[in-house]
Amino acid sequence: MNGPSIPTTPTTPPADAVLPERSPLAPAPGTLIGSHYDECFGCGPHHPQGLQLTAVAGEHLDVTARFTVKPAHQGGPGLAHGGVLVSALDETLGTLNWLLGAPAVTGRLETDFVRPVPVDSVLHIHARVTGVHGRKVYSAAEGRIGGPDGPVAIRAQALFIQVKLEHFTTHGRPEDVRKILDDPDQIKRARAFEVNP
């Protein structure tokens, strides 16, 4: 009798997925991709307990990002909480959608924790789009410690689903949505709703 079959993971792009060109709106390679929303736990620069993650656009459909693990991010003593590391990869993978020029939210995120990450470490993350199929964006990321070429500490594969602006205005807490819609800074307004804060 054969053993149990191993299902193809839903984060693996199907054979007819494509790798599109970068969007004309994509930030130039080497450019810092700014925070999409000041209050974002992942990238908001003033969020006191947030990750304050910074990401830079790559040459292709890829980004690099850095996240410094702070004492507020501990799980075990002196070690990063696994869920916080997942958040850092989720945020970086989400940033890939700037390169495609279409808002998207995480549908599925699969993670392998390969080695523990001490507080004060810098997690060097590289993420890339692995395929696009209709509204589905497939991507993968890895986070290394000790430098951009250091050992891999965490890996992830994800499936993002492209959504319309209404996704955010319909589901967000009304006072937060209103605050952004009333912000006179149009750029801030547009960016906040391009992703799910």
Ligand X SMILES: CCCCCCCCCCCCCC(=O)SCCNC(=O)CCNC(=O)[C@H](O)C(C)(C)COP(=O)(O)OP(=O)(O)OC[C@H]1O[C@@H](n2cnc3c(N)ncnc32)[C@H](O)[C@@H]1OP(=O)(O)O
Interface residues toward ligand X, by CB under 6 A = 10, 36, 42, 90-91, 94-95, 97-98, 101-103, 105-108, 134-136, 159, 161, 163, 194-196
Could you tell me the smallest distance in angstroms from the CB atom of residue 134 to ligand X? 6
**80 beta partners:** 74
Could you tell me the smallest distance in angstroms from the CB atom of residue 96 to ligand X? 7
Residue 83 contacts by C-beta under 8 Å, 6 or more apart in sequence?
A: 75
Element spanning 137, H or E: strand 136-144
Could you tell me the smallest distance in angstroms from the CB atom of residue 197 to ligand X? 8
Cβ proximity to ligand X, 50 vs 94, nearer residue: 94
In 3D space, the residue among 150, 105, 142 whose CA is nearest the CA of residue 126 turns out to be 142
Cβ proximity to ligand X, 106 vs 169, nearer residue: 106
State the greatest distance between any 2 C-alpha atoms of the chain, in Å, as a whole number: 67
Q: Report the residue closest to ligand X, judged by CB.
A: 94
Could you tell me the smallest distance in angstroms from the CB atom of residue 67 to ligand X? 13
Cβ proximity to ligand X, 10 vs 78, nearer residue: 10
Cβ proximity to ligand X, 80 vs 96, nearer residue: 96
- What are the C-alpha distances in Å from 71 to residues 21, 38, 47, 74, 88? 40, 21, 15, 6, 15
How far is the C-alpha of 168 from the C-alpha of 40, rounded, in Å?
Answer: 14
